[in-house]
Amino acid sequence: MKTTNFKLVSLLLAPPTSCYQIPPWQRNYQWGLEPSHRFAYDVSVAVTQDPPHWIGVALIGESDIKCSLKTERNVPGHECFQVLDGQQRLITTRLWLLALLDEYKRVVGKYPAGYEDRSQLTEIEVHALDQEEWDRIKTQDVLNAKEMPFAEEKERITLTYLYFRYLILQGSLVDEEVIVDDIPPEKDGETLLETWTKESEADHESSALTPENLVDLIQATINKLELTVLEWDKENDEDVEVIFETINATRTELGQYDLFRNYVLIQSQTTGQEQRSLYDRTLQEAELKIKNMERGFNSNLDQYLYDFLIAESRDSNSDFNMNKTSKLFRSKWLEVKKTGVPLDSYLDSVITPTMWAWYAAASGAEMVEFGSTGNDPIALGEEVQRKIWRLESFSRGPFIPLVLQVLRYWITKGEGREEEELISSLHLIETYAARQLLAGRTFSPLRSEMMRACAAIDFSDPENHDKHDLKSWVRENTPTDQRIFSVATQTCTTDDGKEPNPETDWLARKEVAKRLTPAQLRALFDALHRKFEGPLSARLLVEPGRVIQNRSSITIEHFYPQKDGRW
């Protein structure tokens, strides 16, 4: 492997003679505020140093992925390189320089001499999951941002660029501490940059950078930062997956979905444009939808992989550690591979449809989409959406694998599917969740119970008597009225000081209410507001032999009675 020490100018201001691409099997841009802040601080220190400041290692290799710069502009002698490692640092450096150049133009009215062509810094083929954000950087639409995207996993490119602009306006580069709490929101409909600029100009003690300071920082970034570049030779060097995992073994751990994507695309035995086409056809659209899902998890894509493997499991004793899901998938794929199913077929028929179904199961979307796979979207009615959102209100996450199973089975019925059947299945899961809540169960252990449920229930063959159907599983595993009453009344007495009667008294309601969150109470209310049809009134779940007098086993009034016609 050839090793070269590069000044960053060679990698940053490359077009039109060469360009750099992020291959699809890599993770997308992930740097947060801390490494980005440290980078800006290092540059500010490098300004006063004579020797070059070394910032790390990058691994590049020749690319045969279709390049828009080469094909659309027909530049003679143009070369494309894949950034096999070092993406985070190279993208951050470009965002830093763009922030400096854009601030210089704001102050002076034009870009500094030698850097008039801003597009040289934006001409990089970023990961497909970052393309929408990068387009905002290229078109400078990012300047219209009205809030900082602090949410986990979302808009990190936008966050980094705006953060650099804020540091520059505050002149805070010499401070080693990350600044977050002091970043003000926009005021009176202004953009963030307009608000920050006005505050900086109004603060007479502000140390905002001058145009001369900005040029010094640009020059230091271009000429004083040095990168060691390893050039990968496809013919003579080890497999790129082995090199990639070795390099990343001592760094911040890759997400489980990142490792899954890397493994799948490498195992596909495709390279270059063929690999890119496979990724675009199968994973790319669904990844983007899941990554940007509102009200998401710490990592939406990692959560999808975890839930998918739980839903697919047929072993109730499997060790489903969320930090091991990429390895668990490898084991699963080796089993599937023995059946003769090609990887691209498995992606098309199982992985990709499940990603779209998971998005609907986790978000309560109006339809199950399938992107450009050729399958028509399937609409989900309002009642289906309401039930999914109620489950989300009970507790974020544990029930998604079971909902995913129900939804996938319903989808496979094709034209014979009926929405009432889906509503009925979700009704059972909702009943199970609500009764577990009333019986005092916390939902953390229920993740394990969902694993057992997915392993025990055979959705594809209701006549398989070695397996449960959903209804029988819920009946066997859901707390009865007596159990709920017993738990709720452990520390509760009636108004006259007597022990409550489980047949007539539900004055334990206050004890129940104390341990429920507002979202859980609302979900219970929604589930119970119809005495006869609500999930908790279902005959199915009353213990055998018990007579229900007046058909109102439990209603919301048992917990929140009306007074003078009001709740």
Per-residue pLDDT reduced to its tens digit, 512-563: 666 677 777 777 766 665 444 555 554 433 444 444 343 444 455 555 555 5
pLDDT in tens, 132-162: 999 999 999 999 998 888 876 678 999 999 9
**Residue 250 and residue 75: Cα distance in Å, rounded?**
39
pLDDT in tens, 33-85: 888 888 888 888 877 777 777 777 788 888 878 776 655 556 677 788 888 88
Q: How far is CA 253 from CA 91, 169, 199, 319, in A?
A: 19, 33, 39, 20
What's the whole-number average pLDDT of the chain?
78
Q: Which helix (H) or strand (E) holds 232?
A: strand 225-232
Q: What is the pLDDT of residue 302?
A: 92
Query: Crossing angle of helices 87-108/33-46, nearest 10°?
Result: 70
pLDDT in tens, 164-209: 999 888 876 666 677 777 788 888 889 999 998 888 877 766 667 8
User: Residues 101, 218: contact at Cβ < 8 Å?
Assistant: yes
**Residue 452 and residue 454: Cα distance in Å, rounded?**
6
**Residue 53 and residue 220: Cα distance in Å, rounded?**
9
Would you tell me how many other CB atoms lie within 10 Å of the CB of residue 34?
11
- Please enumerate in sequence order all residues whose Cβ is within 8 A of that of 297, keeping only pairs 6 or more positions apart, or say none: 303, 396, 397
Q: Is the pLDDT of residue 467 over 90?
A: no
Closest CA to 421 of 470, 479, 370: 470
**Residue 374 and residue 380: Cα distance in Å, rounded?**
19
User: Residues 458, 468: contact at Cβ < 8 Å?
Assistant: yes
Q: What is the pLDDT of residue 5?
A: 63
State the average pLDDT over residues 373-378.
86
State the average pLDDT over residues 436-450.
76
Burial label, 327 (beta-carbon count in 10 A; 0-12, 13-18, 19+): middle
Within its chain, how far is the Cα of 171 from the centroid? 33
Look at strands 2-7 and 225-232 and give their pairing.
antiparallel
